[in-house]
Structure formats: structure tokens, C-alpha cells
Structure 1
């Protein structure tokens, strides 16, 4: 199997870390949707990262859909989402917040790096930044109680999201205002699966 995409994408990175935790063998092909667009298009014409090429040639895309496939295949002791409905709803709530934070970070980065400066729309940037802050403020509350439990999909995605935002938007969020998130991400970044797929 082949995972296509750059590790500076939180979506690619969460898939890579998750696949290692599932015990899935795969090769990482670090293609960019920008600088290697044509090469990426030969694998997946949609050029969406991450893309995962299964052994039979099937191409899966979108991190949540890729991980849903492997969660279904994983044995009970390797699953990253709880099976009980109430616990799963809580995990999905945290996941939704973390993925929203990733999305809003990407939107802000694209606004500043892809759109001409004279076409920047400040009210839009303020709105998206407010959504980003709201997502992380809610995550901060969810992470108020430290835990040493085995890695879950919600926990790892929250850490991946926070590290991504801190890398891409270091001046937008004050780290000191989110001590629980900072502690959580710092701890998980030391995990072997995180260290094997460092943010680029």
C-alpha cells in the first residue's frame, strides 16, 4: 500500500500515524499537491491529499474515509475509536473539533499565501480565525484532565492539529492560553509513531 501526500498536511500525518498504530505496512510517497501536481495526478487525478493506494490498486482519499476503512479492519485491540455509543460520540465530538481546527488553519494559510494581498478580505479572515479559536477553546476544555490511556484517534488528531497550527500560524494563537493542548501535543509528539512521521 502507498500513502501519498506531504507530512506538513495534518490529514496526511494523522493517517500515517494511525496506520502505524493499526500495524499496517505501507510506503509513504511525499508528493505535493502544489510542486508535484502532475505526478500526483497520475496516481489520483483529483490530486487530493492524502490518497491511499490499496494493494489491488483501489485509491481511497480523505483522511476520515481512509481511517474508517482501517478502523473496520482492525482487531479489537488495535481499534482507535471506542465501540460503545456514548464513548464514541464523545470521541467523534473531539475529532470534529480537531478537524475543524485543521480546516480553519488551512483556510487562513491559503488566504495569506495563495491569494494576492490586494484581494484579501479581512472580515472573512476574522471570521475564520474566530472559528479556529472557538474550536481550540473547546478542545482545551476537553483536554483538561490529563490521561495516560493508549492512543485514540481523537487524542492523536487533536495533537496533530495543534502541532500543525503552531507550525503554520505561530502568531495567531497564544500558546500560554492553551496549556492543556500544549501539554497534550508535547507528550504525544514524543510517541514513536509521531516521531516516525514528524511534521515537515
Structure 2
């Protein structure tokens, strides 16, 4: 299997980091949906990152779907989604908040950095910022005394939250002040220090 997409996409990066943490062998080829559009389209006509390419050439898209599939390949002890129903519900709920932060960050970045200035919609950018801040407000409130969001073991909620935070801080400097989210900032720093995150740096 091969994963296609750039690591500066939070959706690609969460997939690559997760594969490392689950001890899965996954080839990764960085092809840009912007700069290498035709090359990407030859692999997947949807030109959507991440794209997982199977050995027979068929493709799968959407990071959450790809990760669900990868979890079926991982040893139970290495999976990032808990099997216990209560812990699983919490993990999935917090992952959904992190994915909302990823989504709003990417949309705001496109709106303010990619879209031509004459066509930018300030009201829409403001709404995206409000939704992004709301995602991080909710996540900041979820931290307790445990090492990670769902207890002592790192889960997909931690991966997705840390990846979202890094993308926001990298691509939208000054939009979300780390001083307003000290627990999130500390959590992301701890995650980024792990080998799996460093192996998927950008």
C-alpha cells in the first residue's frame, strides 16, 4: 500500500503518524494536489489527499475511513481507538472535535492565503475563525490529570488534536493564541516530541 499526499495537510499527517504509532508499514509519497495536480490525478481522478493506493491500483480516500481500515490491520494492542465502549465514545467524540479544527483551519487557510484577495469573503473568514476557536475551547476543557486526553495511553484523539494544533499554528499564525490554550499547547508539544510525529514532520 502507498499513501499519497503532502505532510503539511493535517489529514495526511494524522494518517502517517497513526500508521507509525500502529507499527504498520506504509509507503508514503508526497505529491501536491496543487503543484503536481496532473500527477496526482493520474493516480486518483478525485485529486484528494490523502489517497491510499492498494497493490491492485484501487484507491481509498478520507483520512477517517483510511484509518478505520488501517486499524483492522494493526495488532489490537497497537490500535489507537479503544475497544471499551465508554473509552471509545470519548475518543471518537474528541477526535471529531479535532477534525472540526482541522477542517476549519484548512478552509480558513484556503480562504485567506489561496483564494485571490479580490474574491475573499471576510464574513466567511470570521465565521471560520469563530468555529475554529470553538473547537479548541471544547478541547481545552477536556484535559484532566491523565497524560493524554483519554487516559494514560495515547489515542487517535491525541494524534488528531496535536496535528490540528500544529497545522493551525503553522499556517494561521496569530489567529489562535497559544496563551489562551495552555493545556492544548503543552499536549501538542508532548505529542510532537514522539518519534512518530517527528518522522512525519513538515
TM over 0.5: yes
User: How does 1:1-40 map onto structure 2 within 5 Å?
Assistant: 1-40=1-40
Residue 100 of structure 1 is matched in structure 2 by 100
Q: Determine the C-alpha separation between the residues in 2 that align with 1:9 and 1:98.
A: 14
5+ residue gaps, structure 2, are: none
* Superposed displacement of residue 17, structure 1: 0.8
Within the candidate set 140, 151, 156, 1:153 is matched to 156
What is the CA–CA distance in structure 1 between the aligned matches of 2:115 and 2:173, rounded to whole Å? 20
Q: Distance in 1 between matches of 2:144 and 2:105?
A: 23
Shift of residue 57 of structure 1? 2.4
CA contact (8 A) 2:112 2:125 kept: no
Q: Shift in Å at residue 89 of structure 1?
A: 1.1
| Structure 2 CA distance for aligned equivalents of residues 160 and 76 of structure 1 | 23
Paired residues, number: 199
Q: How much has 1:125 moved relative to structure 2?
A: 1.1
| TM-score, normalised relative to structure 1 | 0.95
Counterpart CA distance in 2 for 1:22 and 1:55 is 20
CA distance in 1, matches of 2:144, 2:37: 41
Aligned-residue CA RMSD (Å) = 1.2
- The CA distance in 2 between the partners of 1:106 and 1:14, in whole Å, is 14
Q: Normalising by structure 2, what TM-score?
A: 0.94
Deviation at 1:146, TM superposition (A): 4.3
Which one is further off, 99-108 or 140-149? 140-149
Asked if the contact 1:4–1:50 (Cα under 8 Å) also holds between the matched residues in 2, the reply is yes
Q: Could you report, residue by residue, the CA deviation over 1:62-113 in whole angstroms, capped at 9, with x for unpaired residues? A: 1000000011232221111011222111111110110000100111111112
Question: 1:144 touches 1:180 (CA, 8 Å); kept in 2?
Answer: no
Please, which runs of 5 or more residues in structure 1 have no aligned partner? none
For residues 168-187 of structure 1, what are the structure 2 equivalents within 5 Å?
Answer: 168-187=171-190
